[in-house]
Amino acid sequence: MEKGLMTSGNITKQLIYFVIPLVLGNILQQLYNAADSAIVGQFVSGEALAAVSSSGPLINLLISFFMGVSVGAGVVVARHYGAKRFEEMHQAIYSSYVFTLIGGVIMTIIGVLLSPLLLKLMGVPEEVMGESITYLQIYFYGVIGVMIYNMGSGILRALGDSKTPLYFLMIAAFTNVVLDLVFVIVFHMGIAGAAWATLISQCLSALLVLILMIRGNDIYHLRLKDFKLYPNTFKEIIRFGLPSGIQNAFVSFSNLVVQSNINAFGSIAMAGAGAYTKIDGFAILPVQSFSLAITTFVGQNIGAEKYSRIREGFKKALIMGIGVSLIISIILVFGSPIILRIFSNDPEVISYGVLMSHMVAPAYSILAISHVAIGYLRAMNQSTLAMVVTFACWCGLRMVWILTLTPIFERIEVVFLGWPISWVVSSIIFAILVYHDFKRIPAVDLN
């Protein structure tokens, strides 16, 4: 059996072995911005921490569309790999990278030129506006590195390799932390130093993944002369990835609205909520990883027409995702006052972060249902359906809740409740959709 194929063998073991390096890799990727937040919060100022925090939702908004399309590329690669259609698989890889390079240039231009306007529209307070612009513009000078790395790691995951991206991120994350400390503490570069550290580290991870894929192995060996868009394969990537990209963009936009409402409560609330948001980014990584794992698993088994494994794999990924999320919820509900001190020692900042943790963390096990279902539906060529549900709940419902009730009650707790309420509704809908989809697919394997 080819390396990385998950079309036979022990499903539980395959999912666990795939997810563990994926979780560790995603944790290291989260360390980029978290390291920036922790170091500027401890060694620069609370305003600098607020500036980094306010940039996160805007960064996600501008690059999330292309990240969603990369998920579609991974599904196409996984399907062709599972069916052993290697020529089509290579065309998908080439097309994905050409699209990423074009998208990276576009995102760099948009991010650098529009940062001041977008931050103003978000309602970022004047006292942190200058530093927010500085951080965001420097970040976007290197955003193409983020996109190249994520596309490359998505392709490697589709081929069943979740370990190699982890190794590259270990190198990049270590580089980021070291440069953060040197630029901020030694050279006193402030928030600009943190941004440059992130840029350099992101470009390093992109360079490593490009070198690997050009050098190749027995499954793939990319040649620069073959880098072009293959129309038929690219249409397939867009068909799978466009709904995911739109979904990501709308969810990021809803988070931007949420951030704008948090901003209205002042820089201390921004810093506290921003600090917990960094913790939240780590907390949901395991279930996001199970979602990516089931997308690869189902994609490969669809290609191989192993339908019984699809049902069993989904159920096991769901059980493991819920279990891990429940443990994380308990840890954060009781441990957030201590964990938040990584980012700030200000009691007011910590109090806002603790409040957010108590309202958001208990719902992580519910969120697990949505994430695993989304991963399944994407691989089953139902990305549009997943997009509609996610948009309706995580964007529409969440924004209606916050924009309607926050002006009435004028309490930040109303803003925080927008997350768990939207997760509960989406998980109910996704559970129903997957149940009905199980009835649609063949009852027996065709291979």
Asked whether residue 86 is assigned to any structural domain, the reply reads yes
Q: What is the span of the domain harbouring residue 67?
A: 16-440
Q: Is residue 332 part of a domain?
A: yes
Q: What is the pLDDT of residues 238-281, one digit of tens each?
A: 888 888 888 877 777 777 778 778 888 888 888 888 889 888 88
Query: Is residue 359, in this structure, part of any structural domain at all?
Result: yes
Q: For position 446, what pLDDT does the model report?
A: 65
pLDDT at 31 (0 to 100): 67
Average pLDDT over residues 84-107: 88
369 vs 9: which has the higher pLDDT: 369
Which single residue is written with the structure tokens 């995911």? 244
Contacts 24+ apart (CB under 8 A), 334-339: 336/276, 336/279, 336/361, 339/279
- Is there a domain that residue 1 lies in? no
pLDDT for the residue numbered 225: 79
Mean pLDDT, residues 104-116: 89
244-248, 332-336, 411-415: segment of lowest average pLDDT:
244-248
Give domain status of residue 11, yes or no: no
Tally Cβ neighbours within 10 Å of residue 148: 22
**209 found inside a domain:** yes
Query: Measured between alpha carbons, how far is 398 from 419 in angstroms, rounded to an integer?
Result: 7
* Closest to 228 measured CA to CA, from 85, 96, 69: 96
Question: In this structure, are residues 114 and 58 in contact, taking their beta carbons and an 8 Å threshold?
Answer: no
Is 416 a domain residue?
yes
Mean pLDDT confidence for 149-159: 86
Q: Give the sign of the dihedral formed by CA 243, CA 249, CA 251, CA 257.
A: negative
Q: What does the pLDDT read at residue 244?
A: 80
Report pLDDT for 1. Answer: 45
The predicted-structure confidence for 32-44, as pLDDT tens digits, reads as follows 666 777 787 777 7
Give the predicted TM-score (pTM) of the model. 0.76
The answer on pLDDT for 319 being more than 90 is: yes
The average pLDDT across 11-18 equals 89
How far is 75 from 240, CA to CA, in rounded Å?
A: 7
Q: Residue 172 — pLDDT band, cuts 50, 70, 90?
A: confident
Work out how many domains the chain is built from and give that number. 1
